[in-house]
Amino acid sequence: MADIKGISPTVCMHIILLEENAKNSVESQRRLNPVMKGVIKKEIIKWLDAGIIYPISDSVWVNPVQCVPKKGGMTVVANEKNE
Protein backbone atom coordinates (compact mmCIF):
# COMPACT_ATOMS: atom_id res chain seq x y z
CA MET A 1 0.00 0.00 0.00
CA ALA A 2 2.98 2.33 0.41
CA ASP A 3 3.15 2.74 -3.37
CA ILE A 4 -0.23 4.51 -3.38
CA LYS A 5 -0.23 6.42 -0.09
CA GLY A 6 0.18 10.15 -0.51
CA ILE A 7 -1.35 10.39 -3.98
CA SER A 8 -3.83 13.23 -4.07
CA PRO A 9 -7.26 12.06 -5.31
CA THR A 10 -7.45 15.20 -7.45
CA VAL A 11 -4.50 13.94 -9.50
CA CYS A 12 -6.22 10.72 -10.51
CA MET A 13 -9.91 11.63 -10.23
CA HIS A 14 -12.14 10.88 -13.22
CA ILE A 15 -15.55 12.27 -14.04
CA ILE A 16 -17.71 10.39 -16.52
CA LEU A 17 -20.03 12.64 -18.46
CA LEU A 18 -23.17 10.84 -19.62
CA GLU A 19 -25.42 11.68 -22.50
CA GLU A 20 -28.91 12.79 -21.47
CA ASN A 21 -30.54 9.66 -22.92
CA ALA A 22 -28.02 7.22 -21.37
CA LYS A 23 -29.57 4.06 -19.92
CA ASN A 24 -28.23 2.32 -16.85
CA SER A 25 -26.60 -1.09 -17.03
CA VAL A 26 -26.65 -3.66 -14.24
CA GLU A 27 -24.82 -6.94 -14.74
CA SER A 28 -24.05 -9.76 -12.31
CA GLN A 29 -20.49 -10.41 -11.17
CA ARG A 30 -18.93 -13.37 -12.96
CA ARG A 31 -17.25 -16.14 -10.99
CA LEU A 32 -13.56 -15.61 -10.33
CA ASN A 33 -10.97 -18.22 -9.51
CA PRO A 34 -9.73 -17.97 -5.90
CA VAL A 35 -6.31 -16.53 -6.86
CA MET A 36 -7.81 -13.72 -8.95
CA LYS A 37 -10.43 -13.05 -6.30
CA GLY A 38 -7.66 -12.57 -3.71
CA VAL A 39 -5.71 -10.23 -6.01
CA ILE A 40 -8.80 -8.12 -6.72
CA LYS A 41 -9.73 -7.97 -3.03
CA LYS A 42 -6.22 -6.73 -2.10
CA GLU A 43 -6.30 -4.06 -4.84
CA ILE A 44 -9.77 -2.84 -3.84
CA ILE A 45 -8.78 -2.62 -0.16
CA LYS A 46 -5.60 -0.75 -1.13
CA TRP A 47 -7.60 1.74 -3.25
CA LEU A 48 -10.21 2.18 -0.47
CA ASP A 49 -7.52 2.82 2.16
CA ALA A 50 -5.79 5.36 -0.10
CA GLY A 51 -9.06 7.21 -0.75
CA ILE A 52 -8.87 6.60 -4.51
CA ILE A 53 -12.26 4.87 -4.56
CA TYR A 54 -15.21 4.82 -2.20
CA PRO A 55 -18.17 2.46 -1.78
CA ILE A 56 -21.54 3.25 -3.34
CA SER A 57 -24.23 0.84 -2.20
CA ASP A 58 -27.19 2.00 -4.28
CA SER A 59 -25.74 2.59 -7.77
CA VAL A 60 -27.82 1.63 -10.81
CA TRP A 61 -24.60 1.45 -12.90
CA VAL A 62 -22.95 -1.89 -12.12
CA ASN A 63 -20.58 -3.93 -14.29
CA PRO A 64 -18.54 -7.04 -13.53
CA VAL A 65 -14.82 -6.82 -12.79
CA GLN A 66 -12.44 -8.11 -15.44
CA CYS A 67 -8.99 -9.15 -14.23
CA VAL A 68 -6.08 -9.52 -16.67
CA PRO A 69 -2.78 -10.96 -15.41
CA LYS A 70 0.31 -9.22 -16.82
CA LYS A 71 3.85 -10.60 -17.21
CA GLY A 72 5.27 -8.00 -14.81
CA GLY A 73 3.00 -9.28 -12.04
CA MET A 74 0.72 -6.27 -12.30
CA THR A 75 -3.01 -6.78 -12.67
CA VAL A 76 -5.27 -4.47 -14.64
CA VAL A 77 -8.89 -4.26 -13.55
CA ALA A 78 -11.36 -3.08 -16.19
CA ASN A 79 -14.87 -3.82 -17.42
CA GLU A 80 -15.69 -5.69 -20.64
CA LYS A 81 -15.70 -2.44 -22.66
CA ASN A 82 -12.07 -1.73 -21.58
CA GLU A 83 -13.12 1.30 -19.54
Please report how many Cα atoms fall inside a 13 Å half-sphere around the Cα of residue 26, on the Cβ side.
3
Phi, psi (rounded to 5 degrees) for 69 = -70, 140
How many percent of the chain have pLDDT more than 70? 70
- Domain coverage including residue 78: 1-83
Report which of 52, 38, 54, 50 is spatially closest to residue 10, judged by C-alpha positions.
Answer: 52
Counted domains in the chain: 1
Say whether pLDDT at 51 is over 70: yes
75 DSSP β-pair partners: 69
pLDDT at 77: 60
Q: Of all helices (H) and strands (E), which one includes residue 38?
A: helix 34-50
Q: For residue 46, what is the domain's CATH number?
A: 3.10.10.10
- Residue 80: CB partners within 8 Å, gap ≥ 6? 63, 64, 66
Tell me the average pLDDT across 37-64: 81
